[in-house]
Amino acid sequence: MKFFIDTANLAQIKEANDLGILDGVTTNPSLMAKEGIKGNDAILNHYKTICEMVDGDISAEVLSVTFDEMVAEGKILAAIHPNIVVKVPMIKDGIKAIKWFTDNGIKTNCTLVFSAGQAILAAKAGATYLSPFIGRLDDTGYDGVELIAQIANIFTIQGFQTEILAASIRNPLHIIKCAEAGADVCTCPLDSILGLLKHPLTDIGLAKFLEDAKKM
Ligand code: E4P
């Protein structure tokens, strides 16, 4: 399973990248706004900086909702760097735009996926990735990880090539459960990635080894 970091924060991207386990980055308008990135030039420059930091797929989301505008915007985003993946919302024009990008050799990430039916449509359009939002589903009383398992099963049966990118991850357990359910990628906040490191027995064991090492 690939690991992406889900942030536009450069310090956090650097910290995850320095671990040596990072395969890519996802952003969205909310994450960009949180970092105070404003205006077209600043947005494009920020994506360029991320592409120069991380050798992997970098999702950059379109801000329009009509086919023509999404295609125009996606072309500009894709021209920033070969690793840019154009992130497109799961709407009717979004599916048309994903098909257009696929036919024109531009990678896509279909975002805001909340059902297996939506996943099938994105795969049919040839999306490179599709992003089911695990945490937001959990928030509504539905099991987000179940959706990952359902989509993974359908894609195996049908031979769809689209990669399942588990998004809206809230904790380390989500990452483990998504790995078990067949996600190809997990995009995670830094805290959730670092949370995988934690076990009290590791800390106790290391303290004891270091103490005993003094007697060696
Ligand atoms: C990433 O591609 C998604 O936009 C992101 O994971 C959404 O996460 P949230 O539900 O925590 O906002």
Ligand 1 atom 6: the closest Cα is on which residue? 168
Confidence class of residue 30 from pLDDT cuts 50, 70 and 90? very high
- Based on its alpha-carbon atoms, the radius of gyration of the chain, rounded to whole angstroms, reads 19
Amino acid, res. 105: G
Which residues touch 13 (CB under 8 Å, ≥6 apart)? Answer: 5, 7, 22, 25, 50, 53, 54
- The whole-number pLDDT of residue 76 equals 98
Q: Please tell me the distance from the alpha carbon of residue 110 to that of residue 163, in angstroms, as a whole number.
A: 10
The residue whose CB lies within 8 Å of the most ligand 1 atoms, and thus the one to mutate among 2, 5, 6, 148, is 6
| Confidence band, pLDDT 50/70/90 cuts, at residue 25 | very high
Fill in the DSSP letter of residue 195.
H
pTM for this model (two decimals): 0.96
- Those residues whose C-beta lies under 8 Å from the C-beta of residue 26, and which sit 6 or more positions away, are 4, 5, 6, 59, 87, 109, 131, 165, 167, 187
Per-residue pLDDT reduced to its tens digit, 174-203 = 999 999 999 999 999 999 999 999 999 999
Query: Which of 168, 169, 185, 191 to mutate for ligand 1's pocket (most ligand atoms within 8 Å of CB)?
Result: 168
Q: What is the mean pLDDT of the chain?
A: 98
Q: pLDDT tens across 88-109, in order?
A: 999 999 999 999 999 999 999 9
pLDDT for the residue numbered 73? 98
Which pLDDT score, from 0 to 100, does residue 93 have? 98
127 CA → ligand 1 middle, Å: 18
**pLDDT (0 to 100) of residue 166:** 98
Query: Residue 99 catalytic?
Result: no
Active-site residue among 2, 34, 75, 87? 87
* Span from the CA of 148 to the centroid of ligand 1 (angstroms): 15
